[in-house]
Amino acid sequence: MKDFFRSLQYLKRYRVRIGIGMVCVVLIAGIWGGGLGLLLPGAKILVDPEGLHGWVYREFAQDRLNTTLVRKSMRDDRNFYEQHLNSVLEVSGVKKHDKACDLKTGEWVVGRVGPGGQVEPLDDRQMVRYLSQLPLEQASTLSVFDPDSGKFHQVTVQPVEKPTALARAEQKVVIGALTWVHEPQNDAQRLPMFVWLLVLVAVLTLIRGFLTFLQEYLVGTAIARGIMDLRCENYNKVLHLPTTFFSEKGATDAMSRFLQDIGELSRGQNILLGKTLVEPFKAAAVLVVALKLNWQLTLLTVIAGPPAFIMLRKLGKSMHRASKRALQSVSLLLGVLEETLTGIRVVKAYTMEGAERKRFFNVNRQLLKQQYKMERLDAVVGPAIEALGLVFGLVATGLAGYLVFVGSPWFGGKMDPLKFLVWLGTLFALFDPVRKLGKIGPKFQQSDAAAKRIFELLDTTPEKQVKNAPTLGRHCQSIVLENVSFRYPSASDDAVKNVTLTIKAGQSIAFVGANGSGKTTLASMLPRLLDPTAGRILIDGHDISQYSIRSLRRQIGLVTQDTVIFHATIGENIAYGLRRPKQEAVLQAARKAFVDEFTRTLPDGYNTMVGEHGATLSGGQKQRIAIARAVLRDPAILIFDEALSQVDGESEQRIHQTLAEFSKGRTTLMIAHRLQTVLEADLVAVMEQGRITATGRHEQLIESCSAYRALFQNQLQ
Ligand code: ADP
């Protein structure tokens, strides 16, 4: 889970929102627990003859005497009823080793004995009130009836105080609050009490609703902002990754991490801090209520926790694995999509629809397999927790039933049936948040797998850049390659081997060689799209690796074979890379590169939008736009990768004209495929398997270099 927790760092900036959300959560859980706490008083008001007051005083009387007391109606015991009281207080349990009183289980407490020895009979209501307010640590005498022997006798009790300050404070608050509530004398008087209770529940529900809204809104927006920061940081990182990263993993892998993985992560964060954050607090609040009702029985149920935790851990691990594979499959799926959709013309031309459909289906099926597994794991969690909870819950409930009907001195005698019912209710209420929490455990694992992939990207080493690197001045003397070699990370052999070459400023050099001989790799090292694995490149005597990449790239104009055109207007495409391009300069560059020629015929001229990747333009037009882009930057160095195809004869002619004009006074490196380019170059370098095997002018090389002659015959003509 470490990657998931690492992702939470991005929320640090929004800690105030999250903090308020947390406060809301605690309040919500408190209200939730409080609402459940109202169940028993509600039941007492509604159905129990002893009523709310009777119950509260009885609870405190029990505490003082350390016994369990129950109300006993005397209506069935006509003899006693007619002579004495219609209801009495029965001792239903006495705790062992208790010094507080001498009462015995089964006895009825029927009156108090005054200082003069006179007995004043008290029914259960009067008695609990009297007992709950008995002076502490002082002996008081009670009149007690033993139904077994049918005799009255007197018992001395010495009430004890509640042991903790919290319990004492609670007692004070509750008794204080109760004095405000009118004690009903008959059923009709109970109705207003019940209505007030409902009003209280309604108010609490409204407050809880508002707090829930506030919490979800604040946390949700904090997460959205944190995720946006993460996305931006990731994007920034991607922009500074070495180009080899993309050639190895493919751009879609990074894209998939951006969309799918970050989405997954944000879902996980929302689960943790949003709706479900309240669940453990709710569970804790309910647990407090349940423990208060009967701690022994509640603890018995809670034993189910550790086995459930172990089970969830196991499931979580499987979920992590499945989720990681699923995310990889999504990335593959995107890769296939990108390939086929961008190459749709080739797919159609070669009637590869069937094969592509099969390829897509296979990757899709892979994804489905992982999704099946994830669904299975997800679906098993709920029932598994329920089964575990049920077993432990049933054992505890069985025991509770025993306590209601028979009672046990270990649990303080018999259990009040209403209390039992309410305890059972809280048990169900406890189960709900626990089940929800259990279900989200595996979801976190899903998010953790996504976070891992995101941080993998973020932790990739960026392009090498010297800190506070000095600015490289505009090139005006020479470019020197000293024993330069380069090997692609995945390759076993160098793509460029030990190349040493000097190019004077203003010179144009054409690289020729078979496909794969290393021309593109060599040219890519000058703007540091690739860094030599051995050797160095000097511009005007300065090692370019020690200077700022920005100052280096700003003086290089790059026109690649697969021209990059952005989904923007023609004008914007030409001005790409300049902050505030001047309209006039853009037009001039466009004219020089013969872009003007075809743009003029378009209805929107330079404001014409070109399709994605320049889909609405021809190959020659795209390359002319790329040249105009280079012209506009006025670079000291021009790198030109001649297009092999895509360019019609007229475009080719135009491109050459531009190049001849534009390369004047600039150092120009050309990857040449055409004779004319080679003929016009000041120097031709022949490349074979990563090495420069010969340099010279065309006429010299035709004479002296057999490899060049072969190239001339096969390619250049
Ligand atoms: P050229 O431009 O002369 O056609 P390249 O410079 O593109 O040649 O390629 C030189 C060698 O490097 C070739 O053998 C090619 O297979 C290999 N190569 C090119 N790009 C990569 C890459 N991203 N990863 C591994 N090997 C590569």
Q: How far apart are CA 41 and CA 218, in angstroms?
A: 35
At 451, is the pLDDT very low, low, confident or very high (cuts 50, 70, 90)?
very high
Q: Which of 425, 458, 491 is the last residue of a domain?
A: 458
Question: Which residue, 518, 524, 519, 520, is CA-closest to 544?
Answer: 524
Query: What's the total number of domains in the chain?
Result: 2
Q: 421 and 300 in one domain?
A: yes
Higher pLDDT, 148 or 209: 209
Q: 486 and 435 in one domain?
A: no
Q: 690 and 569 in one domain?
A: yes
- Classify burial at 83, counting beta carbons within 10 Å of its beta carbon; exposed 0-12, middle 13-18, buried 19 or more: exposed
Q: 490 and 385 in one domain?
A: no
Residue 158 included in any domain: no
Q: 507 and 423 in one domain?
A: no
Higher pLDDT, 160 or 429: 429
Q: Which of 458, 487, 516 is the last residue of a domain?
A: 458
In this prediction, residues 320-331 reach a mean pLDDT of 86
Q: What's residue 162's pLDDT?
A: 66
**Closest ligand 1 atom to 690 CA:** 10
Percentage with pLDDT > 90 across the chain: 23
Residue 19 included in any domain: no
CA 327, 329, 333, 338 dihedral sign is positive
Q: Is the pLDDT of residue 597 over 60?
A: yes
20-34, 88-102, 326-340: which has the highest mean pLDDT?
Answer: 20-34
What tokens were used for 480?
Answer: 């020197």
Q: How many CB atoms lie within 10 A of CB 229?
A: 15
Task: For residue 281, give the amino acid letter.
Answer: F
Q: How far apart are CA 588 and CA 590, in angstroms?
A: 5
Q: 435 and 500 in one domain?
A: no
Higher pLDDT, 177 or 485: 485
Residue with CA at minimum distance from ligand 1 atom 27: 488
Residue 105 included in any domain: no
Q: 526 and 496 in one domain?
A: yes
**Closest ligand 1 atom to 247 CA:** 23
Q: 487 and 383 in one domain?
A: no
Enclosing H/E stretch for 188: helix 187-239
Residue 701 included in any domain: yes
CA 707, 709, 711, 713 dihedral sign is negative
Which tens digits make up the pLDDT trace of 485-542? 999 988 899 999 999 999 999 999 999 988 889 999 999 999 999 999 999 999 999 9
**Closest ligand 1 atom to 511 CA:** 3
- HEC per residue, 555-590: CEEEECCCCCCCCCEHHHHHCCCCCCCCHHHHHHHH
Q: Give Cβ neighbours of residue 283 (< 8 Å, ≥ 6 apart).
A: 430, 433, 434, 437
Q: 483 and 419 in one domain?
A: no
CB 157 within 8 A of CB 143: no
What single string gives the DSSP state of each residue in 218-262? HHHHHHHHHHHHHHHHHHHHHHTS-HHHHHHH-HHHHHHIIIIIH
Phi, then psi, of 123 in degrees rounded to 5? -80, 180
Q: Is the pLDDT of residue 612 over 90?
A: no
Question: Which residue, 653, 652, 634, 628, is CA-closest to 565?
Answer: 628
Residue 21 included in any domain: no
CB 639 within 8 A of CB 559: yes
Task: For residue 269, give the amino acid letter.
Answer: Q
Question: Which residue, 518, 496, 297, is CA-closest to 412?
Answer: 297
In this prediction, residues 387-414 reach a mean pLDDT of 81
In this prediction, residues 290-297 reach a mean pLDDT of 85
Q: Is the pLDDT of residue 409 over 80?
A: no
Q: How far apart are CA 102 and CA 89, in angstroms?
A: 15
Q: Give me the residue label for tokens 């799926």.
A: 333
Q: Which of 458, 487, 508 is the last residue of a domain?
A: 458
CATH number at residue 704: 3.40.50.300
Q: 571 and 425 in one domain?
A: no
Could you tell me which residues are beta bridge partners of residue 543? 538
Of the chain, the end-to-end C-alpha distance in Å amounts to 62
Could you tell me which residues are beta bridge partners of residue 93? 68
In Å, the largest CA–CA distance within the chain is: 142
Residue with CA at minimum distance from ligand 1 atom 16: 516
Q: How far is the CA of 690 from the centre of ligand 1 (A)?
A: 9
- Domain holding 670, by residue range, is 478-716
Pocket test for ligand 1, best of 517, 561, 691 (most atoms within 8 A of CB): 517
Helical axes 305-342 vs 353-405, angle rounded to 10°: 160
**Closest ligand 1 atom to 496 CA:** 10
Report CA-CA distances (Å) from 258 to 8, 255, 267, 322. 17, 5, 14, 19
Residue with CA at minimum distance from ligand 1 atom 10: 518
**Closest ligand 1 atom to 523 CA:** 6
Phi, then psi, of 545 in degrees rounded to 5? -70, -15
Residue with CA at minimum distance from ligand 1 atom 21: 488
Q: 682 and 647 in one domain?
A: yes
What tokens were used for 411?
Answer: 């649990």
Helical axes 583-592 vs 619-633, angle rounded to 10°: 130
Residue 7 included in any domain: no
Q: What's residue 691's pLDDT?
A: 92
Q: Is the pLDDT of residue 98 over 60?
A: no
What tokens were used for 159?
Answer: 């009430």
DSSP letter at 414 equals -
In this prediction, residues 54-80 reach a mean pLDDT of 81
Q: How far is the CA of 51 from the centre of ligand 1 (A)?
A: 89
At 613, is the pLDDT very low, low, confident or very high (cuts 50, 70, 90)?
low
Question: Which residue, 628, 528, 538, is CA-closest to 585?
Answer: 628
Q: Is the pLDDT of residue 604 over 60?
A: yes
Q: Give me the residue label for tokens 């470490």.
A: 2
Enclosing H/E stretch for 74: none
Question: Which residue, 254, 688, 220, is CA-closest to 497?
Answer: 688
Q: 493 and 399 in one domain?
A: no
Ligand 1 site residues (CB inside 6 A) read: 247, 488, 490-491, 495, 513, 515-521
- HEC per residue, 689-716: CCEEEEEECHHHHHHHCHHHHHHHHHHH
CATH number at residue 427: 1.20.1560.10
Residue 410 included in any domain: yes
Which tens digits make up the pLDDT trace of 663-691? 888 999 999 888 888 888 899 999 999 99
Q: How far apart are CA 57 and CA 125, in angstroms?
A: 8
Which tens digits make up the pLDDT trace of 374-386? 888 888 888 888 8
Q: How far is the CA of 517 from the centre of ligand 1 (A)?
A: 8
Residue 649 included in any domain: yes
Task: For residue 236, give the amino acid letter.
Answer: N
